[in-house]
Every structure is written in structure tokens, then in C-alpha cells.
A and B are shown apart, each in its own frame.
Chain A
Amino acid sequence: MPSGPMFQQTLTPGIRAERIEKRLGGNDVLRGVDLDVRPGEILSILGSSGSGKSTLLRCLNLLTVPDRGDIWIHGEKLAIRVASQRGGQSSVTDHRQVRRVRASMGMVFQSFNLWPHKTALENVTEGPVLVKRIRRDAAADLGRHYLGKVGLSDKADAYPRHLSGGQQQRVAIARALAMEPRVLLFDEPTSALDPELVGEVLRVMAALAGEGRTMVIVTHEMAFAREVSTRAAFMHRGLIEEESPPQEFFSSPVSSHLRNFLASHR
């Protein structure tokens, strides 16, 4: 873990979100969600589409700004100006804080979102060079290290369009890792992949989980959530309806919605 002023703001580690509300396109996507993620936890968030799980994840690094509610990241409360009653958008008030917090949380997207004009290595080093001001040669070493970690040492100079979906997603994971974040956020990382490519991405994620990293994973991969996570949460209509360790979550679900959900995904 690197040191420096950027990383010393910590009071309490982990993520805490309270009463998060978000309205999007006329729907109440989040209706007062509470969420806690302790360091070292691997939290899987499950739920049918439209239940708000991706929106909740995006609220944590403020890619989506919640309409109401409070978020603490590593003990630091995020400065958000809430939307007025008459409408209008809620907005970020401390842009430096947001950038600092985002830099401490790696994010992996459903559609990879690699930058097409940069090679795999450049995709990985861009953040460290621009945001953490690491020298280019040092960043290149760092980038190669993390590309090796996701098994793509030989693809450093390849452009995204020459990589398969699974390879692109692994580069995206290396890009998140190169920032040496304290938390990793995964937004349905395998949903856009052909079935035969899902395995290689899940294997990389399982290896990261084995290192004791803090991870929040929105996913539809039941078997993966069951084996890898330390806690599973089920979202239904904008609320977390049930959360428990994976053994209980999958074998003795309490909520009827979760039982139906699990039955339909077996």
C-alpha cells in the first residue's frame, strides 16, 4: 500500500452508505439503502435487473450522485449537495475529494470501457501517470506487473480491438489494480462476455479475493458469489432485502423474493 498525503486521510476504514436514495428516469431506483463494507470483505450484490444494484455500486464512487443519503469512504464523508425539493440534480461539491476517493477505489465495468486509442499497457499506466504522478518508466514497470498478474504479459502492446472480450476485461482489471486501490468495485464484470470467456475473468477475480482485498461485486454469477464472497446481499426494488454469509444466503434464504430469485437462477 503506497503512502503519501492521498492515503492518510483515513479515520475508519471501509465503506459506509446510509439511506441512499436515487431517482432515475422517473423511477425510484434506490429507496434508502444502507450498506457497510469492512476491509477485507468480499461482498456480492445480487438481484434481478432493475433492482438498483449497479446504481448503488456507482453511487459509491459518485459516478452516479445520490439524491439523498450519506457516504463515508475510508472514514471520510463525501461532500454532496442534495437535490432541492423542486427538482434539479444533486451534485458533487468537493471535486478534489471525489477524485481522491475515486483513485482509491478501482472500478471494473460491464462493457470493459478500455480506451481504444491506447495499448493495453497504456490503458493500465494512464491513471498512475496522470493521477498519482508516477514517472512513465516506473508506471510502465507497474503496468507490466499488473498485466502479468491478470495473465496478459504478452499483450502489453496490443490495442483493445485486437483482444478478446475476456482479455479486454482482464486489462480493465489490471487498469484498476495499477492504481493500487483499497477497494475494488465490479459492475457485472462478466455479463457482456461470451460464456466461454467468463471463466478466465472469474479466475482472476477469485485470485484477487484470495489476496484479502476488499471487493464489492455486482454479479449474476451465483456459483462464484457463493464460493468467493464473504457476504452476499440481495437487492429488490431499490432496497437490500437480505444479506448474510453465502452459506446461509444460498441454502436458507428468508425472503420470499430471494427464494424466487435463487430458484429462477439455478
Chain B
Amino acid sequence: MDITLLLTSMVALASGIPLTLLLTFASLVAGLVLAVPLAFMRASSRKWLSLPVLAYTYVFRGTPLLVQLFIIYYGLGQIGAIRSSVLWVLLRDPFWCCLLAFSLNGAAYTTEIFRGGIQAVATGMIEAAQAVGMSPLQIKRRIIFPIAFRSVLPSYANEVISLVKATSLASTVTLLEITGLSRKLVSETFAPCEIFIAAGVLYLGLTLLLAGFFHVLEVWLNGTPRAKTYKRRVTLQQVAHGQ
């Protein structure tokens, strides 16, 4: 093992961090914007609202993200109607294909996470809001969502960390984020051990930062006494996911 090579490749790979972060945060925001209304639809007792969302989350959670990415990147280009539409401006670009795949996939998981939180909000909280005369939208916005968000924050933090790592799949469609750069570097230096370890260390640093951020967010939202019990929950979930 060549420590000097490991360190120099870390510096070289660091130039892939901005793209990794951009893919992560852009699909995070898009996924969140999609997931919040979908989660309320999914939690609805009306079948015509919840079933289409269930179909969506079932498909996107039931197939590999890599397959979804390949369908979007390689598959959609085969369809003449798409090639000749304005969408092609975006879909011929691997960056937008990745963003689309990561957003749709992340939104599916986030929808199910939030759905659980929404359904776990105690009836009494909602009745208290109804009793003062709040509208259904006000109740969702001011009561149900904030309570649900706090309760699912540890699971959502896991989802965000998964997403950071999932962005490495972008390397398969020519994007030069951290993993893409590593593969390029390996093909030039034939030193896969040092370079992929360097890549791993960079991912570790990113996930450490994110985990820290979510921990601070939890403490801030819940106040210190409850955060202690919450932290234990995160650890258990991470074990269950093999992280």
C-alpha cells in the first residue's frame, strides 16, 4: 500500500465532491418536494388517492436503482417520441438522467417513511386542531407534518445517507463525481486499492458530516431530553440496515 499515492489521490478525487454533493442535494430537494404531498395521499383513507402512490412506491422500491438509471439513460433514448420532444434536451444529458432517477427513487422511499410518521400522529392532536376550527390544510401544515417529521427524522437521515452513497451509480453513465473520477484514475494508474480506499474515505467524511447535521437537527427540534432516546433509535436502525 502506497500511502503517498492514497493521499495524492484523495486530493485528486476531492474535485469530484462538488458533483457528488450537487447530485445529492438536488435529488434530495426534488425528492422531498415530491414526497410530502405523495405521503399525505398515501396516508389517505381514500383508495383512489392512496393506491396510485402505492403503485409508484412499489415499483421504485422494488427495482434496483441502477436498473432505473439505465432505463432512463439508455432506454428512453430509444423512444422516438422522446428524442423528438423538448424533454430530449434534458434526457440526453447524463446529469439530468441521474437527477431524475435519484429523485424518483428517493421520493419513493421518503414517501413511505413520511407516510408512517403521518399515520402515527395521535388522533387527539388532530381533534384538538379541528376543535379550534383549523382547516384540513392548516392541520396538515401546522400540526400533522411537523409532528410526523420529528418522529421520522432518524429514518429520514438514513435515507439521506443512502442517497449520498447511491450517487456513486452516476459513474456508470459517464459522470465524473467521486466514484467516476476514481475509475478514471484507476485506469490511468492501475492502483485500484489506494484509489478506491481514498474514495471510500471521502464518502465516509461526507456521511459523517450529514449524520452530525441530522443529530444536531434532532436535538434542536426535540430538545435535549428526548434526543437521547432518539439517538439510540438511530443506532438500532443503522445496525438493521447493515450500516
Contact = CB atoms under 8 A, between A and B. Distances in A.
A and B: partners? yes
A231 interface: no
Contact of B147 (A95, A105, A117, A131): A117
B128 A99 contact: no
Interface in B184-243: 221, 223, 225-226
A114 B128 contact: yes
B127 interface: yes
A186 to B, nearest CB: 12
The interface size bin for chain B is: 20 to 34
Interface in A141-185: 159, 161, 172, 175-176, 179
B11 interface: no
B83 interface: no
B150 A117 contact: yes
B75 interface: no
A99 B131 CA distance: 8
A111 B124 contact: yes
Interface in B111-129: 122, 124-125, 127-129
A113 interface: yes
Q: In this complex, which of A95, A115, A172 has the most chain B Cβ atoms within 10 angstroms of its Cβ? A: A115
Given A109-B127, A115-B125, A115-B143, A99 B150 contact: no
Per DSSP, are chain B's interface residues mostly helix, strand or loop, or mixed?
Answer: helix
B142 interface: yes
A8 B133 CA distance: 17
Contacts of B127: 63, 109, 113
A127 interface: yes
B18 interface: no
B153 to A, nearest CB: 12
Contact of A126 (B122, B130, B132): B132
Q: In this complex, which of B132, B138, B150 has the most chain A Cβ atoms within 10 angstroms of its Cβ? A: B132
A131 B128 CA distance: 13
B135 interface: yes
B53 to A, nearest CB: 23
Nearest to A126: B142
17 contacts: A95-B135, A99-B134, A102-B131, A102-B132, A105-B131, A109-B124, A109-B127, A113-B124, A115-B147, A116-B125, A117-B146, A126-B142, A127-B134, A161-B223, A175-B128, A176-B131, A176-B132
